[in-house]
Amino acid sequence: MTIRNWFKFFLNALLIGGLVTGVFGLFIRWDDAFSQYFEAGQWGEFLAAFAFMVVMGFTISVIAQMGYFAYLTIHQMGVNIFRTLTLWNWVQLLIIAFVIFDLIMFRFRPNAETTGQIWLYVILLTVLIITSVVVAIVKANLTKKHALISALFFMIVISTLEWLPVLMVRADNVDSWVTLLLFPILAVNAYQLLALPKYNAKSEVDRLKLEERRKNRREAASAKN
């Protein structure tokens, strides 16, 4: 990927993370972060709280982008280690099952002290899985069918790893953060997975155009000589 296209890719992912976190933060953390300023008419503080959510989204976006490029390396290593994509896909399915089991038994279950929390974690797990399946199917349809498992692995396993730090926090209001931060992670990861081939294709076209311009300049210089 060329520097220009990488910057566009990075900036778009950054904006998606900030926008999703800011908008969802208005609803999910309204009582904790916004309502008191809204009711008091303190619009400066209200905008500052919204800006904080957006900056948080930017941070999540950067983490998600680091996770994506790390996964590209892991994927290539997995194919090389297990020799065939089929065997690597089975390994990825096993890891997906383990991660979902870990989420249920060691992340959600210890914190599910009320019926409301139980339903919250069920909904969050459902959002994670359904979003991952839909994105993986779209990715497979846009590229190759064998990309389905790899896309599912990225959306579930890597997204969970990026989500893990907030899942490990023990605090009274942590559920709202757990809920909020899932959405920018999924949004940015879905964007990266689906948009990267387009930017790679643009980069290839840009390289061909650059080579053509260089060739024309060399030919023009040779003609002058």
Q: How many residues does the chain have?
A: 225
Cα–Cα separations (whole angstroms), residue 34 to 49, 88, 174: 7, 46, 17
Residues 156 and 96 sit within 8 Å (Cβ to Cβ): yes
pTM: 0.91
Give the phi and the psi of residue 131 in degrees, each rounded to 5.
Answer: -60, -40
The structural domains of the chain, with segments of one domain joined by +, span 64-215
- The proportion of the chain whose per-residue pLDDT surpasses 90, expressed as a percent, equals 67
Rounded Cα distance, 209 and 25, in Å: 44
What are the pLDDT tens digits along the chain (225 aa)? 778 888 999 999 999 999 999 999 999 999 989 999 999 999 999 999 999 999 999 999 999 999 999 999 999 999 899 888 889 999 999 999 999 999 999 989 888 888 889 999 999 999 999 999 999 999 999 887 778 999 999 999 999 999 999 998 877 778 999 999 999 999 999 999 999 888 888 877 777 776 777 777 776 767 666
What is the model's pLDDT at position 219?
A: 67
What is the model's pLDDT at position 225?
A: 61
